[in-house]
Amino acid sequence: MSELINTQSETANARLRLMATASALTLIASVCAIENAQAHDSDRPTVWIELGGQLERLENAQPIFVPDFALNTPETNAPVSPSEAQRAPRYANGAEGKLSFEPAGTNWLFAAGIRYGRSNGGKHIHQQTQNHSSTFGQYPYAFTDVRAKNRESHTVLDFQAGKDWGLGMFGHGGRTSLSLGVRYAQFSSRTDVSISNNPTSNPYGYHHFYQTGHIRRSFTGIGPSIAWDGSAAILGSEDTSQVTLDWGANFALLFGRQKSDVHHNTHLTRHYVGLLYSNTTDSVRSKSVIVPDIGGFAGFSVRYDNAKVSLGYRADFFVGAVDGGLDTRKNDALSFHGPFATIAMGL
């Protein structure tokens, strides 16, 4: 009986020693994992500086001057359309920058970013017939001449605070973050046009139509915004480098003011007679508006511990942002979309 009791006691002691050993090993492993994670987090940059550029396609309702006298020049084979000369540049180029901060030991994100773009363009179209000769000598040819210059610029500022639900802002593996903030946007454009036309060649006197036009448009607004960003690793290792698929969406409601200043003058003269007709129109408008802004992006990144290179495609649509009318107000949308490239460095 005593031998059986001793055997059971030794078995119980062995089990206790085994459980104690396993518990100690588990505790040591947990402490090591926590220390490694803390060391890894302490090595991760908390401040990121991101710089880049973009090429954007402009989509807006560009107002044009199309006076009746310039729609047709009877003695020319291919009449010039003023709308072709006044076509605004289709692309704008620009730069962007972003400063991000992720406090150590937290999953909170704070960021401030700016995007700026502009475009400039001009066109001159001239078409004419040959001079004519008669017993009265040389007399003027028929012609149409259109000159136009366009300038455009846009600025978007973002201030955001959010939470990273993944593993770090630029960090290892996948991530997803939701941010709230404030967006500020400013758009401005300028168009200057001159159209000159003599429809016929006539030795007894010719008509000269002439029109000049100037358009200034702008919008300035600010309002709350929300943004969702995500990424997923598709190649590589978080210990060396990774290729990730990136995506995001944003929405803002901008409270601002759109302005439009339109001036155009038309006059008609006749040789040997002088001024037959002249008309000047000025339309200055200003209105408070609420502009929804919907946008998103998709792309790829190559990520390292303290650097990131990204390529992607981005779009932003500002609904009813500009007054696209001439003599009367016309609410038009404005959008920018195109490829972008950025480089980020961690500090």
pLDDT tens digit string along 278-321? Answer: 888 899 999 999 999 999 999 999 988 889 999 999 999 999 99
Do residues 155 and 12 both lie within one domain? no
Sorted by sequence, the CB contacts under 8 Å of residue 102 that are 6+ apart come out as: 46, 48, 108, 109, 110, 164, 168, 169
From CA 39, how far away is CA 52, in angstroms rounded? 31
| DSSP string computed for 5-44 | HHHHHHHHHHHHHHHHHHHHHHHHHHHHHHHHHHHHHHHS
From CA 43, how far away is CA 333, in angstroms rounded? 46
From CA 85, how far away is CA 152, in angstroms rounded? 16
Do residues 3 and 54 both lie within one domain? no
From CA 271, how far away is CA 205, in angstroms rounded? 5
Percentage of residues of the chain with pLDDT beyond 70: 74
Do residues 61 and 191 both lie within one domain? yes
Burial tier of 178 (Cβ tally within 10 Å: 0-12, 13-18, 19+):
middle
Do residues 222 and 183 lie in contact, with contact meaning Cβ atoms separated by under 8 Å?
A: yes
If phi over 0 gives left and psi between -120 and 50 gives alpha, with beta otherwise, what is residue 37?
alpha
From CA 97, how far away is CA 78, in angstroms rounded? 48
Do residues 17 and 5 both lie within one domain? yes
Q: Closest Cα partner for 221 from 152, 321, 296, 94? A: 321
Do residues 326 and 283 both lie within one domain? yes
Do residues 97 and 152 both lie within one domain? yes
Q: In this predicted structure, what is the pLDDT of residue 26?
A: 42
From CA 319, how far away is CA 53, in angstroms rounded? 24
Q: In this predicted structure, what is the pLDDT of residue 1?
A: 42
pLDDT tens digit string along 2-56? Answer: 443 444 444 445 444 544 444 444 444 444 443 444 444 556 788 999 999 999 9
Query: pLDDT band for position 155 (50/70/90)?
Result: very high
Do residues 128 and 216 both lie within one domain? yes
Number of domains comprising the chain: 2
Do residues 149 and 217 both lie within one domain? yes
* Domain CATH code at residue 81: 2.40.128
Do residues 140 and 242 both lie within one domain? yes
Using the CB atoms, write b or e for 130-152: b if 16+ within 10 Å: eebeeeeeebbbbbbbbbbebbb
From CA 129, how far away is CA 73, in angstroms rounded? 10
From CA 83, how far away is CA 77, in angstroms rounded? 18
Residue 170, pLDDT > 70, answer no
pTM value? 0.78
Query: pLDDT band for position 80 (50/70/90)?
Result: low
Q: In this predicted structure, what is the pLDDT of residue 165?
A: 79
Percentage of residues of the chain with pLDDT beyond 90: 39
Domain that holds residue 124: 46-346
Do residues 24 and 156 both lie within one domain? no
Higher per-residue confidence, 333 vs 272: 333
Do residues 126 and 177 both lie within one domain? yes
Give the β-pairing of 207-236 and 175-198.
antiparallel
Placement of tokens 């004419």 in the chain = 128
Residue 62's CB is within 10 A of a number of other CB atoms, namely: 20
Do residues 119 and 244 both lie within one domain? yes
